[in-house]
Amino acid sequence: MMTMDVAGGGAKSGDTVTKGGAAGQPGGHTGAQECAGCCKPITERFLLKALDMFWHEDCLKCGCCDCRLGEVGSTLYTKANLILCKRDYLRLFGNTGYCAACSKVIPAFEMVMRARSNVYHLECFACQQCNHRVDWKPSKDQFGRLLLRSKRDHPFK
């Protein structure tokens, strides 16, 4: 997905794709493009190009949460004839897991901490002896419990 400046000849800053041009330039537009969402001509200065089609900025939305995809990033996801933002794609089709500390579900879109083969909620990534939050490489005891590396690392000796 990219945002094109029809008058200025390029993509908005911050987008990862920078192809595009003004009318009359190679790769540019030869008149008003038709929006794939509403089928009306795109007369605004900016338009989106996604899935080899052109869109008004207001017309390219997530099929679940209705967020404007041009505002949430330069990537969209499609599956089962749905156009989705990353969060909804992962929520619907991503793999969920279970936290090694609390055994509760970790949704696919949630940030996690990993230690070897274990996955943890960010708030659960703590020493299992002293409950001190671990922000760096931990070690494990013979039972697989997450521990700070040595007793001197524990805040309460």
Q: Which residues contact 111 (CB under 8 A, 6 or more apart)?
A: 122
Could you give the C-alpha distances from 14 to 18, 43, 85, 124, 150, in angstroms and in order? 9, 23, 17, 34, 44
Range with the largest mean pLDDT of 9-18, 24-33, 62-71: 62-71
Write the pLDDT tens digit of every residue in 36-51.
999 999 999 989 999 9
Higher-confidence residue of 146 and 109: namely 109
Calculate the average pLDDT of the chain.
74
pLDDT attached to residue 80: 83
Tokens representing 123 are 């708030």
Residues near 18 by Cβ (< 8 Å), separated by ≥ 6?
A: 2, 10, 11
Q: What pLDDT, in 10s, does the model give residues 67-122? A: 999 898 888 999 888 899 988 888 888 878 899 989 999 988 888 888 878 888 88
Q: How confident is the model at residue 27 (pLDDT cuts 50, 70, 90)?
A: very low
Domains and CATH numbers, the chain: 2-92 (2.10.110.10), 97-153 (2.10.110.10)
Does the pLDDT value for residue 156 go beyond 50?
A: no
